[in-house]
Chain A
Amino acid sequence: MPLNTGRTLGLNPKRRRIDFASWVILYLTLALFFFLSASRSSFLTVGNIHSILYDTSFRFFAAIGFTLLIIMGELDLSVGSMFGFGGAMMGLFIFNYQLPVEAAIPLAMLVAGLIGLAVGFLVTTFRLNSMMVTIGVMMAVKGVNWILIQRFGGRQLARAQYNFVTLELFGIKWTILVMLVVALIFEIFLTRSRHLKQLYYIGHNFSTSVLYGLNANAVKCACFALSAALSAFGGALMTARLKHPHVTVGANLEISVITAAVIGGASIFGGRGSMIRTMLGVLFVSLLQNGLTSFNINTYVQQIILGAILVLAIYIDVRVNAKKA
Chain B
Amino acid sequence: MPDLASPFLDIRNITKSFGVVKALLDVSISVTKGEIHTVLGENGAGKSTLMKILTGEFAPDTGYFELEGQRLRATSPAAAHAMGIHMVHQELAVFENMTVAENIFPYHNFKKAGCIDYHRLFQEAREKLGLFGLKTIAPEAPMASISLAGQQMVEILRCIVAEPKVIILDEPTSGLNDHEADMLLEILRHLKATGLTILYISHRFKEIMAISDRISILRDGRFVTTLANDGSVSENDLINNMVGRDLSRSLYQIKTTGNAKSGAPLLQVRGLAKARALNDSSLDLNPGEILGVFGLEGSGTSKLSRMMYGLETSDAGKVIVKGRHISPLTPRRMVAEGVMYLNNNRKVAGLLPELPVTDNFSLPVLQKFSRFLGFLDLPRLGNLATNFVKAFAIALPSLATKPANLSGGNQQKVMLSICLVPEPEILIVNEPTRGIDVGAKTEIHRFLLDIASRGVGIVMFSSELPELMSLADRIQIMRNNSIVGEVKAGDYTEQAIMRYAAVGSDNLAV
> Interface residue tally of chain B, by bracket?
35 or more
Q: Give the residue name and chain of the A residue nearest to B419 (CB).
A: A212
Q: Is the CB of B354 within 8 A of A192?
A: no
Partner of A215, one of B332, B356, B364, B378: B332
Chain A residues positioned under 8 Å from B366 (CB to CB):
194, 197-198, 214
CA separation between A211 and B362, bound complex, in Å? 14
- Report chain A residues within 8 Å CB of B311: 210-211
Answer whether residue B72 sits at the interface, using C-beta atoms and an 8 A cutoff: no
Would you call A9 and B375 a contact (CB within 8 A)? no
Contact B376 A213 (CB under 8 A): no
> Any chain B CB within 8 A of the CB of A193?
yes
Q: Is the CB of A6 within 8 A of B354?
A: yes
Contact A9 B349 (CB under 8 A): no
Contact residue among A192, A194, A200, A212 (Cβ-Cβ distance under 8 Å from B331): A212
State the CA gap A281–B112 with chains docked (Å).
Answer: 58
Q: How far is the CA of A9 from the CA of B374 in the complex (A)?
A: 14
Find B354's partner among A9, A10, A204 (CB 8 Å cutoff): A204
Asked if B145 is at the interface of the complex by the 8 Å CB criterion, the answer is: no
Q: B313: shortest Cβ distance to chain A, in Å? A: 13
Contact of B385 among A10, A11, A189, A204 (CB under 8 A): A11
Is A8 an interface position by the 8 A CB rule? Answer: yes
A29 at the interface (CB under 8 A from B): no
Known: A8-B355, A208-B363. A213 touches B382 (CB 8 A): no
Q: Which listed residue (B335, B336, B374) contacts A195, Cβ 8 A?
A: B374
For B348, the closest partner residue in chain A by CB is: A207
Question: Can you name the residue of chain B whose Cβ is closest to the Cβ of A198?
Answer: B366
Contact string, A246-290, partner B, CB cutoff 8 A, digits 1/0?
Answer: 000000000000000000000000010000000000000000000
- B233 shortest CB reach to chain A, Å: 44
Q: B352 and A201: CB pair below 8 A?
A: yes
Contacting pair A208 B378 (CB below 8 A)? no
Which residues of B (383-413) have their CB < 8 Å from a CB of A? 385, 398-400
Q: When each residue 6-45 of chain A gets 1 if its CB lies under 8 Å from chain B and 0 otherwise, what string results?
A: 1011111001000000000000000000000000000000
Pick the residue among A15, A192, A204, A215 that contacts B376 (CB under 8 A): A192
Q: Which of A6, A197, A198, A208 contacts B350 (CB 8 A)?
A: A208
Residue contact B363 to A201, C-beta cutoff 8 Å:
yes
A209 CB within 8 Å of chain B: yes
B500 at the interface (CB under 8 A from A): no
Does A205 sit at the interface, judged by CB under 8 A? Answer: yes
Q: Are A9 and B336 in contact (CB under 8 A)?
A: no
With a cutoff of 8 Å between Cβ atoms, the chain A residues found around residue B109 in the complex are none
| Minimum distance in angstroms from A267 CB to a CB of chain B | 11
Q: How far is the CB of A180 from chain B (nearest CB, A)?
A: 20
Interface flag for B240 (CB, 8 Å): no
Q: A11-B382, A200-B355, A211-B331 are contacts. A193–B376 as well, Cβ < 8 Å?
A: yes
Contact of A209 with B363 in the complex, beta carbons under 8 Å? yes
Chain A positions 175 through 197: 1 when the CB is less than 8 Å from some CB of chain B, otherwise 0: 00000000000000100111101
A-B CB contact pairs (8 Å), 15 listed: A6-B355, A8-B355, A9-B358, A9-B381, A11-B356, A12-B400, A193-B374, A194-B367, A194-B369, A198-B366, A200-B359, A208-B349, A212-B340, A213-B336, A215-B332
Interface residues of A (CB under 8 A from B): 6, 8-12, 15, 189, 192-195, 197-198, 200-201, 204-205, 207-215, 271
What are the 10 closest A-B residue pairs judged by CB atoms, nearest first? A213-B335, A207-B349, A194-B366, A11-B382, A193-B374, A212-B364, A195-B374, A194-B370, A194-B374, A208-B349
